[in-house]
Amino acid sequence: MTLVEAVNDGLNTAMHEDDRVVVLGEDVGVNGGVFRATDGLYDAYGEERVIDTPLAEAGIIGTAMGMALYGLRPVPEIQFLDFIYPGFDQIVNEVAKIRYRSGGQYTAPMVIRTPYGGGIRGGHYHSQSSEAYFAHTPGLKIVIPSTPTDTKGLLLASIQDEDPVMFLEPKRVYRAVKEDVEEGYYETEIGEARIAREGDDVTVIAYGAMLHVALQAAQTAEEEGVSVEVIDMRTLVPFDKDTLEASVKKTGRAVLVQEAPRTGGFMGEISAFLHERLILNLEAPIQRVTGLDTPFPYTLEEEYLPTPTRVLDAVDEVLSY
Amino acid sequence: MTLVEAVNDGLNTAMHEDDRVVVLGEDVGVNGGVFRATDGLYDAYGEERVIDTPLAEAGIIGTAMGMALYGLRPVPEIQFLDFIYPGFDQIVNEVAKIRYRSGGQYTAPMVIRTPYGGGIRGGHYHSQSSEAYFAHTPGLKIVIPSTPTDTKGLLLASIQDEDPVMFLEPKRVYRAVKEDVEEGYYETEIGEARIAREGDDVTVIAYGAMLHVALQAAQTAEEEGVSVEVIDMRTLVPFDKDTLEASVKKTGRAVLVQEAPRTGGFMGEISAFLHERLILNLEAPIQRVTGLDTPFPYTLEEEYLPTPTRVLDAVDEVLSY
Amino acid sequence: MATLEPPKTIMNDDGQPNGEVPDLSQDALLDMYEAMVTTRLLNERGMKLQRQGRIHFYVGSMGQEASHVGFGAALKETDWYFPHYRDTGVAVLRGASIEEMVHQCYGTAEDHIQGRQMPNHYSFKDINFYSISSPLSTQIPHAVGAAYAAQIKDDDVVTGVAFGDGSTSEGDFHVAMNFAGVWNTPTVFLCQNNQWAISVPTEKQTASESFAIKAKAYGFDGVRVDGNDVLALYQASREAVEKARNGGGPTLIEAVTYRMGPHSSSDDPDRYVPQEDLEAWSNRDPIDLFQAFLHEQNHLTESEDEALRERIKDEIQAGVESAENAEGPTIDSLVEDVYAQVPWHLREQADDLKRFYGERPDMDGGH
Amino acid sequence: MATLEPPKTIMNDDGQPNGEVPDLSQDALLDMYEAMVTTRLLNERGMKLQRQGRIHFYVGSMGQEASHVGFGAALKETDWYFPHYRDTGVAVLRGASIEEMVHQCYGTAEDHIQGRQMPNHYSFKDINFYSISSPLSTQIPHAVGAAYAAQIKDDDVVTGVAFGDGSTSEGDFHVAMNFAGVWNTPTVFLCQNNQWAISVPTEKQTASESFAIKAKAYGFDGVRVDGNDVLALYQASREAVEKARNGGGPTLIEAVTYRMGPHSSSDDPDRYVPQEDLEAWSNRDPIDLFQAFLHEQNHLTESEDEALRERIKDEIQAGVESAENAEGPTIDSLVEDVYAQVPWHLREQADDLKRFYGERPDMDGGH
Ligand SMILES: Cc1ncc(C[n+]2csc(CCOP(=O)(O)OP(=O)(O)O)c2C)c(N)n1
Ligand SMILES: Cc1ncc(C[n+]2csc(CCOP(=O)(O)OP(=O)(O)O)c2C)c(N)n1
Ligand SMILES: [Mg+2]
Ligand SMILES: [Mg+2]
């Protein structure tokens, strides 16, 4: 099963188990989603629960929030993360704050699903990786899977979570990664990172599509005799401090990979965090491998995005420090 | 002259010197702005150049961008930073990217002025400090003054800048800080930090209202025999790496102060940056003193915000490491 | 908007019926009146407390008491109300206590929302009175989404949502109206056209003939009603609510009224509101009008009216005393309700703060 | 929308006038025709190149050539055009070269925008053809702001802005229309109602009677025109543009048309477009209609038409060859144009990247 099929399977499983779950967004109904993530749901659950909305992200998020207040479990899809900003006010001022501002009287548990990231020749409006905006917004949880198995388990956990979740799907690997995925209902816990590969010499931390870049780098490094531990963050907020700390304590070296622009990206936070807690354990400064501080380009996207080669270069640098 | 009067003087000077400059926003005309920042401009320059707009931030930013494309120098006011998000898409997808996406054919030089930050009993919708969102958006410059003199000089420089500038005004000190401000036209360079106070033992880096908190802490520290260097960043993007590096090289210790929520705040970036470049110079881990990862509260705002005491606590910590 | 037909009225300037009076019991009429008077008195006291520095802000609704109370009264208790920040009267009508409201304005530990929002930003879930937000228009799509949810759950619930004239300019108004039209949700929209958005008059807000006509863009009806005439407001709202309840879809009601006070305690309307307008509108004060009607119809004597006002003032006074003696919220409350459970980073942050402030800081402010 | 009056037409289904023909020179008519045909031929070739993997995307405008060309032709060269992504024909009409457009689709170093955007996202400042964005509706407020600027500078400039039916649902449409109404800007809005927003039909997009009627909410006029009839489009646009130029303010034009191809090269319309609709609309193909008109009016012979098409095809072929032999953009171009000057952090980032890729990576992709 591919990652996007795991999204579909997760949605289908959730809708089957829990009739509070509704899906809404642009082209999610009859068409089954521009990436086919909602394929078949319209036929299975009808147009009341699988809703082709008018073209307005503020309306999608805003009405989804109304549904959540009322007791449904909406799973709005934003067609590309790049198009979420007309709904940004609803997310940061309303969805994220309603529990707090109402003293817990009203809550808006919902899962905002959206494909994100580069690598599909989308130019700067079909490639953005702006998770840092949301991670800096108290009240939201940020979940980013990188494998089909995690995708389904994390999606199901997110839908049952009492808090709103930004569920960012690395579209570059929608079809590139395949796995046997468990049938039926299961949850993967939010807030837990995954050690995607064990190693001793250096820790590489990544999430989403970059996890696969990190794994490729680790594979090459092994051939060169370097043992790389690769951590898949899976949840950015609240992140799994214990797993991160334990690994970097062990290896004494860390390389952080993000495809988002460098300045103000989430890996700056992780760098600061590790440094604050583990300075005495660090054998070398933590390195970041990131996208550029530019809008996402079209022709040169392979050059813009972190590659295994660039990750290896950073690994070499922390090892030779 | 107070800080908000310096804004007013800066706008007046710019409009006087350059008839491309227009001001637009909610209540900026007849009423002179809810903080009186545009007081008198309507009478002086007329309703064509000082425009009371309909109540729509997307419209304010979006039409301002159209004016900028056409050759005007619009200075839109957003009444509170908290209310900017309906215009967020226009800022991050349009204003920030137009130069890049058009290969430099079209540009949108404009200054988005907005009061930001806590300390005026505004609760979570009149206190936000979300500069990190904008700092993570390539194409924008981020300027945050903390004194009347800088406010005027930086505002004038921003209006003449060829790039769009987010000009965030620390409303908590709108009337709290007074200075003699030079008459007439002058510019203060964007991208240069200011050493607000020299010292040797530890560097405290801040901006906006937190600069004054840092200065108070430095004053107290001096009484306790500790010499604190205080840096006012003034520009977050592109920040003044040389001044920051030189100071931290000298002191070997850094405390970073931001009122925004901790996780993903801009000081995470500065922490990562300093650590990447200066690990061998650091005598202690860099400490951050920040707001909490919660929506901004109402009653407990004094407790939420960094105080001189909390800054001193961090100074002690880096000194006793 | 000068050439438009005048908005619908039921009472003339002396509070005498000049149209068909809706069929409302004496109790119902008096509840509406009490809600309006309570709102006015809270407003007066709130502005005073603010000037005395005992609370830090107040946003009143002088002149608009009929606009929201007439609308709120047309909804059932089980219907959900999504308020504008001026809609204190609807909270009262639905049963919010004065004491709760005063605690909210002081931001005490007894405030249901733990001092987390500015004064007047109430939230009363038990009476289906939705949490008030400062960002304008954001509640409008919520009302549509909730109505959709009620509809697919087959619940007999209508949602009512109120906002100002200025708020119609936001994108959220547009998207919410449009979704409501397409989904045919049981939602009634109330635009309280008080002629101003802070200092911006309606003619700088929109070139549209009226606010009511904006409904045309979304395929449903808009009606213009005298917003100072609580009976006219009630009647029009009642029809819209019944239509919505019976599957007839949404309606937009424009209540034509006037803001008789400052925008909020932070505002100085002398800079922009023409004195003549205030004088003209004060002849149609919604409370005076309704009072005259109730007197004339023998629903309320002068002395009953006096007694009612005294009782309300006493309740407000009791609320103020209770709030001024209350403790403030705890440091722990700062990090609660961000998420269902307090996550590790917020736990750490609160614990760190307790090193400085202990469990519960003193209430600050001027009282 | 079934009960509405039919939209205005000038040509019947055989391309014969059934209304007053606008006063246009033969040259002007032929320019319009050439722009439409070029758009169609680029579309055909573009989709083929995409299927062959030589370019990565294409968004065509089959069936909508009249909608935008009729509109664009009504504007002067000095007027500013804010395009929808389907408006290739207006770029052609204003003088963009086929070669430039093909380079843009390949994202070469000769592309004016340095391979920074997806195919069809043109930007031609020298001909006042504004940069195309992917986010929908964002250009609408830009057109209003530019018109405002032109107005206060006393320039004789009208702005024209185009968008789809789906795009009217975004907040940006609403705020732009509202600002235009209040400011009375010289702006003409073109809604190309092609009945679909990807897979979403208009009845799920809005419950409004028509798109034209939405103008009522903003205090100005809307007109509905046959979008496949380039003369009708021209005529209605001409009137609106003249009105705007003379201080009469904005107009909304709804061009009623049909999307005769997939939404883009990524789309499979067989999943949702009824075959009958396509058949019905193909009888009113805008190019066939206009061609018949031109033949009948003796403006164009069959052989001239043939020659024209051959010439265009040759130009496209030349463009393709040029683009396929062109180099890609440099690494430095990655960090240029983010700001007027390259700041230190971007300089560092580009220099670091050159360690891996040198100055100029090979063009990738399938060619
Ligand atoms: C999104 C947003 N922008 C700006 C503001 C600041 N603001 C508060 S009230 C107000 C005017 C509201 O006018 P209207 O909608 O007519 O309501 P009224 O106050 O007249 O009842 C403004 C601009 C805000 N609260 N939210
Ligand atoms: C803000 C935004 N949301 C979603 C999309 C994805 N998207 C691209 S085209 C499209 C449909 C547009 O429909 P319409 O406005 O009718 O134009 P048409 O394609 O029919 O010409 C959608 C949803 C987008 N580009 N921008
Ligand atoms: Mg108002
Ligand atoms: Mg369309």
- The first and second tokens of residue C126, run together, are 């038990």
Mean pLDDT across B108-131: 97
Q: Is B252 on the interface with C (CB under 8 A)?
A: no
High-pLDDT (> 90) share of chain C, %: 96
Residue from A298, A301, A313, A317 to probe the interface with D (highest D Cβ count within 10 Å): A298
Contact A62 C123 (CB under 8 A): no
Q: Is A67 on the interface with C (CB under 8 A)?
A: yes
The DSSP secondary structure of A106-166, one letter per residue, reads: S----EEEEEE-SSSS-GGGS----HHHHHTSTT-EEE---SHHHHHHHHHHHHH-SS-EE
The angle, 0 to 180 degrees and rounded to 10, between the axes of the packed helices A266-278 and B266-278 is: 60
Question: What residues of C are in contact with residue D1 (Cβ under 8 Å)?
Answer: none
What's the pLDDT band for D241 if we cut at 50, 70, 90?
very high
User: Of chain A residues 213-242, which have a CB less than 8 A from chain B?
Assistant: 237
Which ligand sits nearest to residue D172's alpha carbon? Answer: 2
Q: Specify the pLDDT at position D2.
A: 44
Contacts of residue C126, defined as CB under 8 A and 6 or more positions apart, other chains included, come to none
Contact C216 D216 (CB under 8 A): yes
Taking the centre of ligand 1 as the mean of its atom positions, its distance from the CA of residue C262, in whole angstroms, is 13
Compute φ and ψ for A172, nearest 5 degrees: -60, -30
Average per-residue pLDDT for chain C: 96
Whether the per-residue pLDDT at C4 is higher than 90: the answer is no
| Ligand 1 environment, Cβ below 6 A | B 26, 55, 79, 83, 86; C 86, 134-136, 163-167, 192, 194, 196-198, 259, 263
User: Of chain C residues 19-58, which have a CB less than 8 A from chain B?
Assistant: 56-57
Which residues belong to CATH 3.40.50.970 in chain A? 3-173
What's the pLDDT band for D3 if we cut at 50, 70, 90?
low
Question: What residues of B are in contact with residue D340 (Cβ under 8 Å)?
Answer: 99, 107, 161-163
Mean pLDDT across C123-136: 98
Contact A191 C343 (CB under 8 A): yes
What's the pLDDT band for D60 if we cut at 50, 70, 90?
very high
Average per-residue pLDDT for chain A: 98
Question: What residues of B are in contact with residue D146 (Cβ under 8 Å)?
Answer: 66-67, 69-70
CATH 3.40.50.150, applies to B3-173: no
Task: Give the residue on A whose Cα is nearest the Cα of C135.
Answer: A93
Average per-residue pLDDT for chain D: 96
Q: Is B71 on the interface with D (CB under 8 A)?
A: yes
- Out of D116, D336, D344, whose CB is closest to B241? D344
Please state which CATH class domain B194-319 belongs to: alpha beta
> A165 and A112 in contact (C-beta within 8 Å)?
yes
Q: Specify the pLDDT at position C362.
A: 85
Taking the centre of ligand 3 as the mean of its atom positions, its distance from the CA of residue C257, in whole angstroms, is 9
Whether the per-residue pLDDT at C2 is higher than 70: the answer is no
Contact D206 C220 (CB under 8 A): no
CA dist., res. D101 & res. A113, Å (int)? 35
In angstroms, what separates the C-alpha of A17 from chain B's closest C-alpha? Answer: 33
Touching C (3+ Cβ pairs <8 A), the chains are A, B, D
Q: Specify the pLDDT at position C365.
A: 46
What's the pLDDT band for C6 if we cut at 50, 70, 90?
confident
Collapsing DSSP states into helix, strand and coil, what is residue C251? strand
Taking the centre of ligand 3 as the mean of its atom positions, its distance from the CA of residue A42, in whole angstroms, is 42
Q: Write down the residue that tokens 């009113």 correspond to.
A: D284
Contact C206 D181 (CB under 8 A): yes
Whether the per-residue pLDDT at C232 is higher than 60: the answer is yes
* Nearest alpha carbon, ligand 2 atom 11: D197
Q: Specify the pLDDT at position D19.
A: 85
Whether the per-residue pLDDT at C27 is higher than 90: the answer is yes
Taking the centre of ligand 3 as the mean of its atom positions, its distance from the CA of residue D320, in whole angstroms, is 58
CA dist., res. D61 & res. D341, Å (int)? 37
> If 0-12 CB within 10 Å is exposed, 13-18 middle and 19+ buried, where does residue B307 land?
middle
Catalytic residues of A: 126
Q: Is A102 on the interface with B (CB under 8 A)?
A: no
Q: Side-chain half-sphere of C222: how many Cα atoms within 13 Å?
A: 23
Q: Is A88 on the interface with B (CB under 8 A)?
A: yes
Based on its alpha-carbon atoms, the radius of gyration of chain A, rounded to whole angstroms, reads 19
| Distances from the Cα of C151 to the Cα of A20, C56, C175, C247, D367, angstroms | 13, 41, 19, 9, 54
> B100 and B155 in contact (C-beta within 8 Å)?
no
Q: Specify the pLDDT at position C1.
A: 42
Catalytic residues of D: 259, 263, 272
Q: Write down the residue that tokens 């619908």 correspond to.
A: C8
Mean pLDDT across C214-234: 98
Mean pLDDT across D85-89: 98
Mean pLDDT across B259-271: 98
Residue type, C181: G
In angstroms, what separates the C-alpha of D130 from chain C's closest C-alpha? Answer: 24
In angstroms, what separates the C-alpha of A313 from chain D's closest C-alpha? Answer: 10
> If 0-12 CB within 10 Å is exposed, 13-18 middle and 19+ buried, where does residue D41 land?
middle
Compute φ and ψ for B169, nearest 5 degrees: -105, 120
Q: Is A238 on the interface with C (CB under 8 A)?
A: yes
ipTM (interface pTM)? 0.98
Taking the centre of ligand 1 as the mean of its atom positions, its distance from the CA of residue C198, in whole angstroms, is 7
| Distances from the Cα of D273 to the Cα of B201, C31, D54, D261, angstroms | 72, 56, 27, 10
Q: What letter does residue C327 receive in the DSSP assignment? A: P
Q: Is A69 on the interface with C (CB under 8 A)?
A: yes
Collapsing DSSP states into helix, strand and coil, what is residue D232? helix
Q: Specify the pLDDT at position D364.
A: 62
Rama region for D306: left / alpha / beta (φ>0; ψ in -120 to 50; rest): alpha
Which residues belong to CATH 3.40.50.920 in chain A? 194-319
**Residue D70's Cα: distance from chain center in Å?**
11
Touching D (3+ Cβ pairs <8 A), the chains are A, B, C
- The first and second tokens of residue A215, run together, are 């794994």
> C71 and C288 in contact (C-beta within 8 Å)?
no
Contact A100 B124 (CB under 8 A): yes
CA dist., res. A194 & res. A206, Å (int)? 10
- Out of B64, B94, B139, whose CB is closest to D138? B94
* Nearest alpha carbon, ligand 1 atom 24: C135
Whether the per-residue pLDDT at D1 is higher than 80: the answer is no
Whether the per-residue pLDDT at D103 is higher than 90: the answer is yes
Whether the per-residue pLDDT at D367 is higher than 70: the answer is no
Whether the per-residue pLDDT at D365 is higher than 60: the answer is no
Taking the centre of ligand 2 as the mean of its atom positions, its distance from the CA of residue C1, in whole angstroms, is 35
Residue type, C112: H
Q: Specify the pLDDT at position A303.
A: 97
Q: Specify the pLDDT at position A53.
A: 98
Contact D118 A303 (CB under 8 A): no
Contacts of residue D341, defined as CB under 8 A and 6 or more positions apart, other chains included, come to none
Collapsing DSSP states into helix, strand and coil, what is residue B267? helix
Asked, as a colleague might, if the bond just before A54 is cis with ω within 30 of 0, I would say no
Contact A70 C133 (CB under 8 A): no
Q: Is B271 on the interface with A (CB under 8 A)?
A: yes
**Which pLDDT tens digits describe chain A residue by residue (321 residues)?**
999 999 999 999 999 999 999 999 999 999 999 999 999 999 999 999 999 999 999 999 999 999 999 999 999 999 999 999 999 999 999 999 999 999 999 999 999 999 999 999 999 999 999 999 999 999 999 999 999 999 999 999 999 999 999 999 999 999 999 999 999 999 999 999 999 999 999 999 999 999 999 999 999 999 999 999 999 999 999 999 999 999 999 999 999 999 999 999 999 999 999 999 999 999 999 999 999 999 999 999 999 999 999 999 999 999 998
Q: Specify the pLDDT at position C363.
A: 77
Question: What residues of A are in contact with residue D342 (Cβ under 8 Å)?
Answer: none
Query: CA B25, B29, B34, B39 torsion: positive or negative?
Result: positive
Question: What residues of C are in contact with residue D214 (Cβ under 8 Å)?
Answer: 217
D200 ligand 2 Cβ < 6 A: no
Ligand 2 atom at minimal distance to the Cα of residue D165:
16
**pTM of the predicted model over 0.95:** yes
pLDDT tens digit string along D156-179? 999 999 999 999 999 999 999 999
> B12 and B62 in contact (C-beta within 8 Å)?
no
**Nearest C-alpha neighbor of C205 from the set B55, B16, A173:** B55
Contact A276 B285 (CB under 8 A): yes
Whether the per-residue pLDDT at D34 is higher than 70: the answer is yes
User: Of chain D residues 303-342, which have a CB less than 8 A from chain C?
Assistant: none
CA dist., res. A225 & res. A278, Å (int)? 26
Q: How many CB contacts within 8 angstroms connect chain A with chain C?
A: 143
